[in-house]
Every structure is written in structure tokens, then in C-alpha cells.
């Protein structure tokens, strides 16, 4: 939590307490779901017995999240490791989705996209059979043109010649070269859309 308040130490304690409380609640609810899906993950006999009875009365297979925790519990790992995996993925996913949402909103708030913004507002304020599909299309377009990650560095493992097409010369890459894979430039060729 320190990175959130590193320039505001007076807020650090309150944020740390709130994060700890939220983490405890989310962890407890996640553990409950894991025990409902797989009572054998309980660390003690009484817990296994109670979770087994509860899951036979209220089967967890009807939960929309069932496939993911079911696959995790099938690994046979202890519940604390399963919880760590689930919460680790959840935190990473939340940050990723939040950044994507910010980029999409910022993309359509740009004055150059006034017409698109008006169309989005119209789609949100009315109902129609294709509205959701059109809104998803607007989100996908913004994520294509303003992705949440600009790119990543990679080191070439082998020598390779990469064809560029359209009469351009190939790019020769040698083993050990650092390469920037630009996500921002990856999907800009309109002839391929």
C-alpha cells in the first residue's frame, strides 16, 4: 500500500488498515467458495465434514465461477496456496482492467472523437438489440488504438530475418539484440482489419 501514499504518509495507516480488512473479507469469501467446490481442501477434519455437507445441500456447480476454482482445487494444493493464486490473479487482473478502462475513457474524451462520444452516449441512453455489440466494438477499437501497455522489450534468442511485406526490405535481427514490440503500432494496418 505504500506506493499509493508514498508522498502522503498521513494517509498510509488508514489505507493499510482498509486494505487489510478488505483483503481479509475477500480472502474469507474466496476460501468459502473453494471449500464449497472441494471440501477436501479444508485443512482439518471438521471443516472437511461441514463443507462436504454444505456442498451436498447447496451444490457449487451453479456458480458462474465454478470452472476456475474447480480446476485449481483439482491440483491438490493446500488452500493457502490456492487462495494466494486466486488473489494474485485477481489483483493483477483488476489493475489491468482498470488501466484499460481509463485508456478507453480517455480515448473517447479526446476532442478529436466528439462524434464517437455522442454516439456512445446515445447507445448508453437507449436500448436496442445491437447496442451492447456496438459498445463492445467501441471499447475494442479504443483498446486497439490506445492499449493499456505500449509494448515490451525482448531479447532475440536466434538470428532471424523478418519480412515486412509491401516491398519493404526485411529486418535482420541478430541473437542478443534487444527488440521493442510496440503494441501501439501492431494493429494499425487498416488493410488487415
CA dist., res. 55 & res. 35, Å (int): 8
CA dist., res. 119 & res. 142, Å (int): 14
SS3 for 97-156 is HHHHHHHHHHHHHCHHHHHHHHHHHHHHHCCCCCHHHHHHHHHHHHHHHCCCCCEEEEEC
Place of cell 478488505: 22
CA dist., res. 31 & res. 45, Å (int): 16
Question: Can you give the C-alpha Rg of the chain in angstroms?
Answer: 24
CA dist., res. 117 & res. 33, Å (int): 40
∠ CA 160-166-171, nearest 5°, is 20
| pLDDT at position 190 | 73
| pLDDT at position 189 | 75
Burial of 82 by CB count in 10 Å (0-12 exposed, 13-18 middle, 19+ buried)? buried
Q: For 6-21, what is the mean pLDDT?
A: 75
Which of 6, 26, 30, 27 lies closest to 16, judged by CA? Answer: 6
Which of 133, 141, 135 lies closest to 193, judged by CA? Answer: 141
Helix or strand holding residue 161 (H, E):
strand 160-162
pLDDT digits (tens, 9 = 90+) for 113-123: 999 999 999 99
Least confident of 9-18, 23-32, 135-144, 175-184: 9-18
Q: What would the grid cell of residue 99 be?
A: 488501466
Q: For 107-116, what is the mean pLDDT?
A: 96
Q: What would the grid cell of residue 154 be?
A: 525482448
Q: Give the global pTM.
A: 0.60
Amino acid at each position: 500500500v505504500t506506493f499509493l501514499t508514498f508522498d502522503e504518509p498521513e494517509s498510509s495507516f488508514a489505507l493499510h488498515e482498509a486494505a487489510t480488512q478488505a483483503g481479509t473479507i475477500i480472502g474469507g469469501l474466496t476460501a468459502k467458495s473453494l471449500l464449497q467446490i472441494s471440501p477436501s481442501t479444508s485443512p482439518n477434519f471438521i471443516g472437511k465434514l461441514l463443507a462436504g455437507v454444505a456442498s451436498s445441500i447447496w451444490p457449487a456447480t451453479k456458480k458462474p465461477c465454478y470452472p476456475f476454482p474447480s480446476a485449481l482445487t483439482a491440483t491438490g494444493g493446500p488452500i493457502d496456496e490456492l487462495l494466494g493464486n486466486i488473489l494474485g490473479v485477481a489483483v493483477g487482473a483488476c489493475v489491468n482492467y482498470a488501466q484499460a478502462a481509463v485508456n478507453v475513457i480517455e480515448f473517447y474524451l479526446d476532442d478529436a472523437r466528439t462524434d464517437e462520444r455522442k454516439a456512445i452516449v446515445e447507445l448508453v441512453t437507449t436500448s436496442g438489440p445491437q447496442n451492447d455489440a456496438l459498445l463492445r466494438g467501441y471499447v475494442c477499437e479504443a483498446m486497439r488504438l490506445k492499449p493499456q501497455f505500449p509494448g515490451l522489450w525482448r531479447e532475440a534468442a536466434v538470428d532471424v530475418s523478418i519480412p515486412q511485406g509491401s516491398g519493404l526490405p526485411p529486418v535482420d535481427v541478430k541473437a542478443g539484440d534487444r527488440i521493442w514490440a510496440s503494441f501501439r503500432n501492431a494493429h494499425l494496418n487498416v488493410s488487415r482489419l
